[in-house]
A and B are shown apart, each in its own frame.
Chain A
Amino acid sequence: MGVEEGVYKAKTGLPLWMLGLGADLLWADMNRLLGFLFHQGVLDEQFLQLQQLQDDTSPNFVSEVVNIYFHESEKLLRNLRALLMEREFSDYKKMGSHLNQFMGSSSSIGAKRVRNVCVAFRAATEHNNRAGCLRALEMLEHEYCYLKNKLHELFQIEQQRALAAGVRYPAPVQN
C-alpha cells in the first residue's frame, strides 16, 4: 500500500490523505455543504434537477450552467447598480426587466434566496421606491456573493473528489 500510494502521490500531487479514503471524506463534505445550503434556503430542489441532468453526455453540465449564470448575473448586477447610481434615475421599468431576467436565471439554477431578494427588489421598483431599491440591491449583491462563494467551494470539493475517486481506479502503473 505504501509503495502504491507513493506512486500515486507522485502522479497526482495530492496529499496522501486525499487518496482512497479521501474520496469518501470529500463526498461527505460535499453532501454536508449541500445539505447546509438547502437548509439555509440558499439552494432549492431545482439545483438537484440540474445535478440529475448531468450525466455522461454532459459531464460538466452543472458547472457550465453555473458559470454562465455567474457571468450573466454579474453583468446584471452591474447594470442595476449603474442604474441606481444615476443622479436622475427614474427608469424603474428597465430595472424591472433586468430583475426579471435575474429572477429567471436564478430560479433556473435553484438559487432560492437570490431569487427571493429579486422579488422584493422588483416590488420596490414597482412602487418607484428608490431607497428600497438601493437596499434591495445591497442585499442582492450580498446574497449573490455568498452564493457564488458557496458554489465555488462546492465545485472545488467536487473536483477534488473526482480526482480522488479517479485515483482509486488509476490506469495501470508503468514500471
Chain B
Amino acid sequence: MTVVKDQRMDDLRDQFPVGMRVLAVDDDATYLMVLETLLRRCQYHVTGTKNAITALKLLRENKNKFDLVISDVHMPDMDGFKLLELVGLEMDLPVIMLSANDDPKMVMKGITHGACDYLLKPVRIEELQNIWQHVVRRKYDLKERNKTSSQDKPNGDCCNGRGSSATGNSDQNGKHSRKRKDQEEDDDEEHENDLDNEDQSTQKKPRVVWSVDLHRKFVSAVNQLGIDKAVPKKILDLMNDEKLTRENVASHLQKYRLYLKRISRVANQQANMVAALGTADSSYLRMGSLSGVGHMPTLTGPQQFHNNAFRSFVPGGMIGRLNTNVGLNMHGLSSETLQLGHAPNLNNSMNDPIKFQSAIACGNQNGILAMPLSIGFDQLQHNKGVGFSPIQDMSSLTEAKQTFAMSNNGLLLKPDRENRQESGVYNNLTSVASQHSQFSLPLLDHGRCSDIWSTPVHSSGTNSYPPSEALPGANLSGASSITSLSNQSHDSLTDIHPQGLTFTNNSGLSHFPFQGWEDHNHDRSYHSNVIGNSVDSLIDPEGHTSMKSTFNRNLDFNFCDPLKHDGIVGLSEENSLKQQQGYIMNQHKSQSSHTVNNLGSLEEFVSSVMQQQQLDKVKLLDGTYLCDNNYPAGTSM
C-alpha cells in the first residue's frame, strides 16, 4: 500500500505545482482546518499540525518530505520566527509566515528572519494558489548559484567571464543574476553548461545537513578567513569536505551573515538599553515570571506582577532571569571583556563550576539571577539539540539587564555540581553573571556552540544528558531553573537540551499540561454551551444580554491551568532561546563580533524585550531595522 501511495505522490509531484507538499503549522485549530482545506482545494498535499515542535520533528525526520512550510507567527510553544529560522537553516525550505496582525514591524521581522512571504489571515484561496512560486524560485536560485560558482567545470571561459557576476550572484537574489546569466548563456555557446544546469535542476538535489561538526568547521573556516573576506570557494577549500558544494557553502554563508547582522543589531540595541536603564532592581523576578509566561508587563509595574508571577511561575521566573541576565551581562560588559582566549579555559572548566566562580569578579545582586554558566557548559557537552521553542518573551531581559548591570555579589551559592537543577546553577551564575570574564564564557566552547546550534540537526539520542533521562517529569520545573540560569549562552543551550530531550522524548509530557487544561476547559465549555443553548431557546436574539450573564457565570474555571500552560511555554521558550544562543556562540570567533556573538543567542530575547518595553528610551541604532515596539512579536500564546 505504501508503495502505491508513494508512486501516486511521485506522480503528483511531477505535475508540480499540483501535489506540492506543504506543511501547515498553526496553533489555532479553527484556522488550521480552514487552511488545510484551502490548500487541498489548491491541489496541494497538506500535512497540518498545531504544534511547532511536532512540525520540526516531521521536517527533520525526512528532509525531502516537504516542499514548503506555512506557519503562523504567534504560537504558544515556539515563536513562529524561530521556527522560520530553524527551518531555513536546517532544511533550507521556503517558509511562508501567517498572521492575523499586519503590523509592518512584524512583516519586517519576517523578512529579516528569512521568510519567503508574509500573509495576513484570513488568507484567500487566490493567494494560496501562487505559493508554489517560492519553491520554484528557490530551485532557480540554486541553479543560478551552480552556474555562476562552478569553476571546476570545463567551461572555464564562461565561468570566468561570469566571474565578476558570480560572487554577486551568490550573494544577491536570483533575479538579476538570473537575467544576466540567461543573457550570457544565450551569448556563449555553453551548451554543456546549460545541460549540466538542467540536469542539476531537474534531478532532486540531496539536501545538505549542516551538522554540528560541519557547522563548526564552517565557522572556523570563516573566522580564519575573516568574516569580511570569507568567500564560499575559500571556505569550501578550508573545510575540505567532499560532500559540500560551493553552492551549499554560499547559501549557508548568506544565512550566517544574516544572523550576524541581526545579532549586532540586537547587541547595539541592548547596549543602548543597558546604558539607558541601568539600575539594579529586583526586576529579575519579574523577568523570570514574565518570561515564563511569555509576556512582558511594562517596566513600570513590575512589583505586583512580581509577586504573582513569582509565586506561580517560579520556573518561568528562573528562565526569565537567566535570559535577562545573560543578555544583560553580555551586553553590559563591553566587548573587550570577551576574550576568545578564555574560551579554551572555559572549555576545560566546563565541568568545573569552581573555575567559573573565580572568573566572576562581581557578584550578582540577585542570587537567583546568577545562573550557572558552568552548568550550562556541562550541559553543553551533552547538549543535543532539539530545536526548541524560541524564547518569546524577552522583555524580561531588559529588566534583568538592570539587575545585572549592578555587579554585586549578593548571592554566591555554593557550587553544587551534583545538584544541577538548583544549587549548582545558582552558584555558577552568580559569580559568572557579574563577571566580565563571563562574557568570554559564552563564547567559549566553539565546539559546544556548534553543538548547540546544530543540535536540532542531531537526533536527541546522540547525546546523553543524565538529568533529562532521569526525570522527565521533574525536569520541567528543574529545567526551568536551569534554563533560566544558563542563559548565558551555552549554558542555556545545554540546559535546554535536557529539557528538550525531555520534551521530545516524552512528547506527551510537554503536551500533558495542555491536554489537562483543555480537557478541563472542555468540560466547562460544554457546560456553558448547555447553559447557553437552553437560555437561547428561552430568549430571542435580542435578549442575549441575559444569556450572556448566564454564560459568564459558567465561565469560572481553574485559574491555574493557564499558568501551567505558561510554565511549559516558558520552558520551551527557554529552550529555543538557548538554541539560538548556542548558535550565536559558534559565531563568536571573530573578535570584531564579540558582543554580537554573545548576544546573538539573545537576539530573540532582545527583540521581544524591545517590543515589550516601552521603547521610548531605546533608540534604534539601525534605522533600517524596525524594532517591534508595541506588539509582542516574541510572545505567543
Contacts and interface: CB of A to CB of B under 8 A. Distances in A.
Interface of A: 46, 49-50, 53, 58, 61, 64-65, 68-72, 74-75, 77-79, 81-83, 86, 88, 90-94, 96-98, 100-101, 103-105, 107-110, 126, 128, 138, 141-142, 145-146, 148-150, 152
Contacts, number: 162
Nearest to A104: B100
Contacts of B536: 149, 152
Nearest to B542: A146
B84 interface: no
A88 B286 CA distance: 14
21 contacts: A68-B33, A69-B30, A79-B562, A81-B555, A86-B559, A88-B308, A90-B301, A93-B293, A93-B635, A94-B293, A94-B637, A96-B632, A104-B30, A104-B74, A108-B31, A109-B30, A142-B544, A142-B548, A148-B532, A150-B541, A152-B536
Majority secondary structure of chain B interface residues (helix, strand, loop or mixed): helix
B172 interface: no
B557 A82 contact: yes
Interface string B102-132: 0000000000000000000110110000000
Interface string B176-206: 0000000000000000000000000000000
Contacts of A103: 100-101
A71 B637 contact: no
B545 A142 contact: yes
A171 B556 CA distance: 49
B547 A93 contact: no
A91 B521 contact: no
A68 B30 contact: yes
B28 A91 contact: no
Contact of B38 (A53, A70, A148): A53
Nearest to B297: A90
A152 B556 CA distance: 24
Interface residues on B, range: 35 or more
B559 A82 contact: yes
A93 B30 contact: no
Contacts of B630: 126
Contacts of A109: 30, 34
Given A104-B28, A108-B31, A145 B532 contact: yes
B296 A108 contact: no
B348 interface: no
Nearest to A138: B548
B521 A75 contact: yes
Contact of B308 (A75, A81, A86, A107): A86
Contacts of A81: 552, 555
Contact of B635 (A49, A72, A96, A138): A96
A105 B524 contact: no
Contacts of B562: 79, 82-83, 94
B529 A70 contact: yes
Nearest to B554: A78
Given A65-B34, A88-B304, A108-B30, A93 B548 contact: no
Given A74-B529, A75-B518, A149-B536, A97 B31 contact: no
Interface in B379-396: 393, 395
The secondary-structure label for the interface of chain A is helix
Q: Pick from B28, B295, B308, B518 the residue with the most CB of A within 10 Å.
A: B28
A139 B528 CA distance: 17
A25 B301 CA distance: 59
B296 to A, nearest CB: 5
Contacts of B521: 74-75, 78
Given A74-B528, A86-B559, A96-B632, A64 B544 contact: no
A79 B541 CA distance: 25
- Would you list the 8 A-B pairs with minimal beta carbon distance, nearest first? A93-B295, A97-B637, A104-B100, A105-B30, A74-B525, A69-B30, A108-B31, A94-B295
B8 interface: no
A100 B630 CA distance: 14
A11 to B, nearest CB: 27
B27 interface: yes
A125 to B, nearest CB: 10
A81 B548 CA distance: 13
B510 interface: no
A49 B529 contact: no
Contacts of B297: 90-93
B41 interface: yes
Contacts of A65: 30, 33-34, 37
Contacts of A150: 541
A90 B532 CA distance: 30
B539 to A, nearest CB: 9
Contacts of B33: 64-65, 68
Contact of B566 (A69, A94, A100, A107): A94
Given A97-B636, A104-B100, A152-B533, A145 B30 contact: no
A61 B552 CA distance: 29
A61 B38 CA distance: 11
B100 A107 contact: yes
Given A82-B562, A108-B30, A108-B122, 18 more contacts: A49-B122, A50-B34, A71-B525, A74-B528, A74-B555, A78-B524, A78-B525, A78-B555, A90-B308, A93-B290, A93-B293, A93-B612, A93-B635, A97-B637, A104-B74, A126-B630, A142-B548, A145-B547
B173 interface: no
A14 to B, nearest CB: 20
Interface string B281-305: 0000000001001111110010011
Given A71-B522, A150-B541, A152-B533, A91 B304 contact: no
B609 to A, nearest CB: 12
A78 B560 CA distance: 12
Contact of A145 (B125, B298, B551, B637): B551
A72 B293 contact: no
A110 B31 CA distance: 11
A93 B393 contact: yes
Contacts of B125: 49
B208 interface: no
A26 B547 CA distance: 26
Given A58-B37, A90-B297, A101-B27, A141 B74 contact: no
